[in-house]
Structure 1
Amino acid sequence: MNDSPTSLPLVERADPPRTVAELRAHGSRVLQAARVPTPDADAELLLAHVLGISRGQVQAKAVTGSGVAPDDRIAYLEAVERRAAREPLQHITGRAPFRSLELAVGPGVFVPRPETEFVAQLAIDALWAVPSERPVAVDLGAGSGAIALALATEVPHASVSAVENSPRAFIWAKENVRTVGAHNLRLVFADLGEALPELDGSVDVVISNPPYIPDDAIPRDPEVRLHDPAVALYGGPDGLDVVRSLSRRSLALLRPGGSLVIEHGELQGAELRALLDADGWRATATHRDLLGRDRATTALRP
């Protein structure tokens, strides 16, 4: 029997990824195996976050064969594993883009979605149409402050109030208002059903992205199901309990002819219009997002 080392089977071990290109490829493979919806994009965004550069710079460094320092390699591999476990990308980076803004987000606050940018545009258009030097807008259930900050920064002559009743979400919104520096935005801790009585009858636009998922409709995506706060997702047996309160409060807040904008699920448009019609709203209309799905319903205060 020959026990010399040369008689043992040889096992080739792949070298660990060391360059930007190798790390990006590794991240993409791991995330694809974990069924992350956008593995290539997430791999690049995580690498950009770890290296403190833009996604475009990651792509450029991948082409030029740039290396990555050991500490950054370890940080990136850890970030990829977190994303593979379906922790939201925005929780890992601590940032979420929304229109022209980049917002701080994390556990305890709903991560703003790209489709909500379309909903914000409806309110922005309505605000710009108000024949007033100081139009007034209210965001009921502000979460991270994404919608309210979009209104405040894109309609700088408006006066915007943002209402939130979750202590954890309020902290994130407060940080975002401070960072963005929107001096025409007031953040208020209150329940949306009772908020801002001092503004009754004077508001031009009310907008809300309320919780609208029915209690027994569990979201498919682990990022939503496991990480978004339940209070921002579920709206009662039919998903519209908060909308009912929102409708009543908005009728009091808005001036006659004022606009209401509500985000909702793609199958809720008809039911939501019926609810608003029954409350006395006029000109109710449902709007489709860029993917052709019902996304928001608008109405005018009688």
Structure 2
Amino acid sequence: MVSRKELFARCRALIAMRDDDTADFDTNCIFQDMLGEKNPMFAPQFPVPDDKVQEILSLAQRRSEGYPLQYLLGQWEFWGCNFKIGEGVLIPRPDTETLVEQVLDICRREKMTTPKIADLCSGSGCIAAALKKELPNADIYAVELSDKALTYLRQNMELNGCDVHIIQGDVLDSSTAEKVTELDILVSNPPYLTARDMSELQIEVQHEPASALFGGEDGLDFYRAMTKLWKSSIKQGGFIAYEFGMGQHDDVKAVLEENGFTDVELRRDGGGIIRTAAAVNQNLQCKF
């Protein structure tokens, strides 16, 4: 039998051929998952069962070929919660926690304890679940079109004990917007990559669904369409909050202001990039 130390070195060497900077982290994550231990290398001389050796080496090989670590593990952490993920659903990223933080700050400032919130393009449901965890009395709707993503969305709501209304629908269709009205807050991390971005994707990102990434030629298609369509679903004085890509903040702000939203507040993520915007709806509500 091979020891954990020996196997770790073999796996690390495989992954390092692609990315030496993440090799230790990636290998440790694979060991944690496959051996079911938080600190598997605390016992480096322990032998690894033969069947596990082959499974671990297979995962390391796939990672060395650029397959996303998160998909290999089948789950990833966001906001302190675990989310089931796989091909067909966007991988939760730390940057998106900035959006959750901004929505929670709005709720605290406005003293909202039972807000009605819709999370559009919900994907894995990480935003909806994080908000429900922090706002247990909130009435939260998660809207998603993809069948594959919906499978993970439903699993994750159950896994994290979140009572969230799940709606399958196209966020660019008025019939979907008609199902959720009188919102206090609309939140979304929509597709925002440009055509150029899509042509230059890292191999890891190429495994994620293009429908969750591509936002049109300039990356702004969803912001233009959703803001115009859904503003009637938000209460006057209610809020809209978006995540977007690096350098898109001025354009997203302009879209919001053109649609009657004011007091646009931009926020930076942990890397210092302007990542999210929240604004107040000044439009008079009208029925569809």
TM-score range, shorter chain: over 0.9
* 2:270 corresponds to: 290
Selected match of 2:41 from 44, 47, 59: 59
Alpha-carbon distance in 2 for matches of 1:132, 1:221: 40
Which residue of structure 2 aligns with residue 87 of structure 1?
67
Question: Matched residue of 1:26: which SS?
Answer: helix
Determine helix, strand or coil for the equivalent of 1:216. helix
Residue 188 of structure 1 corresponds to 167
Shift of 1:89: 0.7
Residue number among 146, 149, 153 corresponding to 1:166 in the alignment: 146
Same amino acid, percent of matched pairs: 29
Partner of residue 249 from structure 1, selected from 229, 235, 256 = 229
Q: Which runs of 5+ in 2 are unaligned?
A: 283-288
Give the structure 2 partner of residue 11 of structure 1: none
What is the CA–CA distance in structure 1 between the aligned matches of 2:167 and 2:20, rounded to whole Å? 36
Match of residue 40, structure 1, among 24, 36, 43: 24
Inter-partner Cα distance in structure 1 for 2:60 and 2:184 = 45
Structure-2 separation of matches of 1:36 and 1:146 = 29
Residues 102-146 of structure 1: per-residue CA shift (max 9 Å, x gap) = 000001111111111121111122234444552111100000111
Is the aligned partner of 1:215 residue 2:199? no
In structure 1, the partner of 2:180 is 199
Structure 1 position 243, deviation (Å)? 0.9
Counterpart of 1:199 in 2: which secondary structure? coil
CA distance in 1, matches of 2:148, 2:179: 25
- Quote how far apart the aligned CAs of 1:48 are: 1.0
Alpha carbons of structure 1 residues 89 and 297: separation in structure 2 relative to 1, 3 Å: same
Superposition deviation, residue 250 in structure 1: 3.2
1:25 has 2:9 as partner? yes
Work out the CA distance in 2 between the residues paired with 1:148 and 1:142.
7
Could you list the per-position Cα deviations for residues 233-271 of structure 1 after superposition, in whole angstroms to 9, with x for gaps in the alignment? 001111100111221233112112211111111110111
Moved more, 235-244 or 248-257: 248-257
Q: Structure 1, unaligned stretches of length 5 or more?
A: 1-16
- How many corresponding residue pairs? 279
Give TM-score, length-normalised by structure 2. 0.92
Distance 1:104 1:61, change over 3 A: same
Partner AA of 1:220 in structure 2: L
Counterpart residue type for residue 272 of structure 2: G
- Give the direction of change, closer, same or farther, for the CA distance of 1:266–1:24 in structure 2 (3 Å limit): same
Distance of 2:212 and 2:14 partners within structure 1 = 30
Query: Which of 109, 114, 117 pairs up with 1:134?
Result: 114
- Which residue identity does 2:129 align to in structure 1? L
Higher relative contact order (CA 8 A, sep 6+): 2
The 1:151–1:85 alpha-carbon spacing in structure 2 relative to 1, beyond 3 Å, is: same
